[in-house]
Structure 1
Amino acid sequence: MPSPAVQSAVDVANWFADQARREDLYLQPQKLQRLLYIAQGSYAAMYYGRKLMPATFIADETGPVEPNIFRIFELGRPKVPSVPLPPEIEHFLSRIWRKYCHHATDYINKQIQYHDIYKRAIKRGLNEEIPFEEIVRFFSGMDSERRKAQKKIVTKDGRKLQKWVPGAKATAKPTNRV
């Protein structure tokens, strides 16, 4: 697996905290956690499974949490100097920020609580890890494609329905019933 794009999740969390400060907005700790999770998943989907940052997310009651960042930012932004991020990473994070900064934390929490990967992790138990591979599949859309493939519609007489494709040969011959 290639190395993460950023050395530390603290650098990404600091970037979001600094961005909120520049815009004179209060960044709730839960919202920071959700932005980190969304950024990690979106980056992985965009860059073929590469991690944005070395981070592990666990299932908390309210949504995914990176426990180290939670602990470090528990009492506010730590006195850790901000490290300049590469311009392409700043651009990527700016897009995430613009998309989600105006949403209420509760709204983002509710949206993420519907994610299948979060539901599976929280079903296993509180503080269960959400595997990075599942995050990649979910944000890449492969998780929903797999679910669609597993869905099969069956008629009353037990035949499986399949999507009609023009020019395709029939899979079952019709029976003559009188």
Structure 2
Amino acid sequence: MTRAPLTDSAFDAAFWLLDRALEDNEYLNPRKLHRLLYLAQAYFAVSQSGRALMPATFVADPDGPLEPTLFRAFAYSRPRVDVQPIDEAGTQLLDSIWRRFGAHSTDHLTKTVKRHPPYADAFRAGPRAVITVEAMVAFYGRPRRRPEEGIGILTDSGAPAIDQVLRPRVMRSQSGKPVNVHQWRPRSLKDKG
């Protein structure tokens, strides 16, 4: 059974990232926006057992992963679109993506993500082939064999594990002390062996 995406539209996540960049006095160019949205879709699906963040189809464009509908809508300027607020799980993920990957250059994000299997396999199938959410989850959600694999930045062979990307929520204990909490994600039977 396929679960509905968290947001009503990919515009909701795109505008959230654009507004966040403006808050930080940064210009978020279209290429970088698409790379961040792609990573957001991938890591949200990993954290939510395959559920998509947004109803979006990413394709393996020669320039890197992109969402064609957003690409056309933003071709000349920021489109006038009514966006809906995103619930806490989505904003926590988008904030984590921005904090983890937003400082990387567009070229670094593009070169690195193009070498990752979800994009590379789709591109080998043909330019503008669909990058499936399942392929994203298989790569970005795979268990790390060595502790150093994928830590810190995106590399050609790996990506940070979800617990290194998703910032923990800060809540208060019964005594009022701040504590970090993560969503519980049980390991699959495949991971245990």
| Structure 1 segment 7-156 matched on structure 2, within 5 A | 7-141=8-142
Give the C-alpha shift of residue 76 in structure 1.
2.4
Consecutive aligned runs of 4 or more in structure 1 exceeding 3 Å deviation: none
Corresponding pairs, count: 144
Q: Which has the higher helix share?
A: 1
Kept in 2, the 8 Å contact 1:7–1:54? The answer is yes
Could you give the per-residue CA deviations for residues 46-88 of structure 1, whole angstroms, max 9, x where no partner exists? 1111111111111111211110111111122212234221123
Question: Is 1:17–1:77's contact at 8 Å kept on the other side of the alignment?
Answer: no
Aligned-pair Cα RMSD in Å: 1.7
Q: Which has the larger radius of gyration?
A: 1
Percent identity, aligned pairs only?
A: 40
What are the superposed Cα offsets for residues 150-174 of structure 1, whole Å, 9 maximum, x if unpaired? xxxxxxxxxxxxxxxxxxxxxxxxx
Q: Mark the CA change 1:116 to 1:63 in structure 2 (over 3 Å): closer, same or farther.
A: same
1:96 is matched by which residue type in structure 2? I
Distance across 2 between alignment mates of 1:120 and 1:96? 23
Any idea what the Cα deviations from partners look like across 1:30-57, whole Å, max 9, x if unmatched?
Answer: 0000011000000011111111111111
- What TM-score results when the alignment is normalised by the length of structure 2? 0.70
Displacement of 1:6 in angstroms is: 0.9
Take 1:102 and 1:138, find their aligned partners in 2: how far apart are those partners? 22
Q: Distance in 2 between matches of 1:120 and 1:60?
A: 12
Q: Is the 8 A contact 2:63 2:110 kept in 1?
A: yes
**Please, which runs of 5 or more residues in structure 1 have no aligned partner?**
145-178
Instruction: Name the structure 1 match of 2:5.
Output: 4
